[in-house]
Amino acid sequence: MSSQSAVFNSLTLPCGKHLKNRIVKAAMEENMAGSGQLPDHNLLSLYRYWAHGGLGMIITGNVMVNRHAMTGPGGVVLEKTTPLSAFQKWSSVIRSGGALAIMQINHPGRQVFKAVSAQALAPSAVNLKLGRYSKQFAKAKPMTCDDIYAVCQQFVDTAVQAQKAGFDGVQVHAAHGYLLSQFLSPLVNQRDDQWGGTLPNRARLLLNIVSQIRASCGSDFAVLVKMNAADFQRGGMTPQEACEVVGYLNNLGVDVVEVSGGNYEAPVMQGRSSDALSLDNDAYFLRFAHDIAQVAKMPVMTTGGITSLPVAQHVISEGCELVGMASALAITPNLVLKWQQMPSYKGHAPKCKWQDKTLASLVTMAMIRRQLRRLGNDLSTTREPGQWWSLILDLLHRKKMTRRYHRFIGR
Ligand SMILES: Cc1cc2nc3c(=O)[nH]c(=O)nc-3n(C[C@H](O)[C@H](O)[C@H](O)COP(=O)(O)O)c2cc1C
């Protein structure tokens, strides 16, 4: 079997759900929720492009488990009492071309913009350190044990709601420096109780959430986890620790582990490493995913830097079962169909390479989110969106979303 055909081969997950091929749209926060922080017609239009783009599985942008803890002001929120009809429409659009519909569920922990909320729950009172940008972020408030149990229940409630709304599964976001990734990181988690210190303690919240979702949603619901291969920061979670966490997840009926890396302080998921651990040029985390695949009993997916079919093939030949793509699918939502017709077709992911890494990361996100909004408005995308203009449009959009979010939560 050539590795090219392997990319287009089907895969059955441990829960029994079936993917028609190995290519997955990774989560991208759209920041496009409609009123009530619900999916609306623009979000559905955007997902219709991906639904008919030949993908095997589509993972939504992160959906918040609690309206008071938002990664961004335009985030979708799904809580225990949220009405489900908008979510039912969303899942049926995603599934309409034969892809599996997976909802990514998340809690930001301390990675919250101050304009959205002044305080943010976190494992410990360790604020984000982003130089002159630090002041833009909320103050980290250490969680009590009751807070921790409440957040665990919120993840489970959201997963149950996603299942009721017709999603094939959920992905628990434990990467990129959000709450579960903060618990895993010894830099941010400085607790000395059963939730901090040793790796089993730091992983306890993630493991509790995953096992309770499995128990509540049954054996035929897909449960995925997105994890950092490492934090890529001195003193952060190491690649060896990431492999150990996957070892713990082996016993909990996880269907896929997606390997990524980094956080707001070290945004290596955009391909720029800042510590001693270097990244691969294409498929940034492949080396780490390869090591994780040696330990993992479940299929492994890697995301980051993949835009061409030969690189996707290489990912499969290195022992990963699934290939994740985000940015390239914002520009070319039907990239998989293009590859099927023309294997040499090269996708494209816009990237800002300014020296100030934090600003460059914001601009890259702004350029990509601008494309998502264009698709949501049924407009064609641009391969090289202007950097400054994208940033300005993103800031204006954020302001509008922030005002609406504050009205929603009655502030
Ligand atoms: C606009 C944008 C929003 C993102 N939002 C999320 C998110 O909600 N959850 C997540 O796990 N990753 C998110 N990511 C990271 C991607 O899933 C992916 O890990 C990263 O972009 C690297 O993959 P790529 O090189 O294919 O873009 C986002 C990336 C972009 C560009």
pLDDT tens column, 280-339:
778 899 999 999 999 999 999 999 999 999 999 999 999 999 999 999 999 999 999 999
**For a substitution probing ligand 1, which of 60, 173, 327 has the most ligand atoms within 8 Å of its CB?**
327
Q: Is the Cβ atom of 269 under 6 angstroms away from ligand 1?
A: yes
Question: pLDDT value at position 1?
Answer: 38
Backbone angles phi, psi at 175, to 5 degrees: -120, -175
**Average pLDDT of the segment spanning 362-378:** 96
Ligand 1 center–CA 8 separation, angstroms: 23
Minimum mean pLDDT range among 105-114, 177-186, 236-245, 374-383: 374-383
Question: pLDDT value at position 4?
Answer: 52
The proportion of the chain whose per-residue pLDDT surpasses 70, expressed as a percent, equals 97
**For a substitution probing ligand 1, which of 24, 59, 269 has the most ligand atoms within 8 Å of its CB?**
269
**Average pLDDT of the segment spanning 243-249:** 98
**Average pLDDT of the segment spanning 57-84:** 98
Question: pLDDT value at position 382?
Answer: 85
**Average pLDDT of the segment spanning 19-29:** 98
Residue 267: pLDDT band with limits 50, 70, 90:
confident
The structural domains of the chain, ordered by start, are: 3-349 (3.20.20.70)
CA atoms within 13 A on the CB side of 57: 35
Q: How far is CA 109 from the centre of its chain?
A: 14
Ligand 1 center–CA 303 separation, angstroms: 8
**Average pLDDT of the segment spanning 176-199:** 98
Going by C-alpha positions, the residue among 137, 145, 97 that lies closest to residue 114 is 137
Mean pLDDT of the chain: 95
Tell me the per-residue pLDDT of 341-369, one tens digit each, with 9 for 90 and over. Answer: 999 999 999 999 998 888 999 999 999 99
Ligand 1 center–CA 192 separation, angstroms: 32
Residues 269-273: contacts with CB under 8 Å, at least 24 apart: 269/175, 269/176, 269/303, 269/304, 270/351, 270/360, 270/361, 270/364, 271/304, 271/305, 271/351, 272/357, 272/360, 273/232
pLDDT at 3 over 70: no
Q: Is the Cβ atom of 25 under 6 angstroms away from ligand 1?
A: no
Question: pLDDT value at position 276?
Answer: 55
Q: How far apart are the first and last CA of the chain?
A: 59
**Average pLDDT of the segment spanning 241-263:** 97
Question: pLDDT value at position 383?
Answer: 86
Tell me the per-residue pLDDT of 276-287, one tens digit each, with 9 for 90 and over. Answer: 566 777 889 999
Tell me the per-residue pLDDT of 105-130, one tens digit each, with 9 for 90 and over. Answer: 999 999 999 999 999 999 999 999 99
The amino acid that residue 30 corresponds to is E
